[in-house]
Amino acid sequence: MNKPPHVHTKPTRKEAEEAVRTLIAFTGDTPGRSGLTNTPDRVVRAFAEHYKGYDEDPAHFLQTTFDEISGYNNIVLLRDIPFYSHCEHHMAPFLGVAHIAYLPSHYVVGISKLARVVEMYAKRLQIQEKMTAQIAQAIETHLKPLGVAVMIEATHHCMLGRGVTKTGAQLITAHYTGVFQTDLAKQAEIRTLFLK
């Protein structure tokens, strides 16, 4: 059976710190000098934080749903969920906001859980397009709504630092399922709500 691509034998913390020392030496600096003594430890701890999403599963926090919605049949929308991720091509930060909307059929979920879904996928090596689709699919799978819409607006540091683009350029991605995919009037409505 094929393993998921992210499952490998994990190097030890010591090995990871050694790799940071190698990268420091590659810059031309001296890993042993006093200002850099604790840097490998800090970098490895930052990595543990930035990439903690690999150990999480959306099923854990999307399984607690509420089904007493008393006939509520309108859009549930959470805007401007901040996130901080890293692009898988350069391991450079990309950050911005995610907007999530869904049209419930039977279940709704706590607001914080929607933010957790974003956080979980952001804390991995990502590309924005994939992250947008993954968030939508997780909600689709666990809430079985009539439709999900996800939009992400983000700035990519790998572009800022390399002289290619102007500061402030934003990449906008969107993923629609169910009624938001098939009903173009609904899709237009949700875009307006996301982008206002």
- The set of catalytic residues is 87-90, 128, 156, 158
Cβ neighbors of 192 (< 8 A, separation 6 or more) are: none
Number of residues counted as binding Zn ion (CB under 5 A)? 4
With CB under 5 A as the contact rule, the residue among 14, 60, 89, 162 that binds Zn ion is 89
Could you say whether residue 103 binds Zn ion (CB under 5 A)?
Answer: no
Q: Which is nearer to Zn ion, 99 or 156 (CB)?
A: 156
DSSP string, 15-36: HHHHHHHHHHHHHTS-TTSGGG
- Minimum CB distance to Zn ion, residue 157 (Å): 8
Q: Which stretch binds Zn ion (CB under 5 A): 21-29, 132-140, 156-164, 165-173?
A: 156-164
Could you say whether residue 42 binds Zn ion (CB under 5 A)?
Answer: no
Task: Name residue, tokens 């350069």.
Answer: 90
Angstrom CA distances, 141 to 59, 144, 186, stand at: 9, 6, 21
Q: Which stretch binds Zn ion (CB under 5 A): 26-34, 130-138, 155-163, 182-190?
A: 155-163
Q: Which is nearer to Zn ion, 47 or 107 (CB)?
A: 47
Tell me the C-alpha distance between 151 and 133, whole Å: 9
Could you say whether residue 172 binds Zn ion (CB under 5 A)?
Answer: no
With CB under 5 A as the contact rule, the residue among 133, 158, 160, 172 that binds Zn ion is 158
Could you say whether residue 90 binds Zn ion (CB under 5 A)?
Answer: yes
Could you say whether residue 87 binds Zn ion (CB under 5 A)?
Answer: yes
Could you say whether residue 144 binds Zn ion (CB under 5 A)?
Answer: no
Beta strands 108-109 and 93-103, pairing class: unpaired
Q: Which is nearer to Zn ion, 149 or 152 (CB)?
A: 152
Contact positions vs Zn ion (CB under 5 A): 87, 89-90, 158
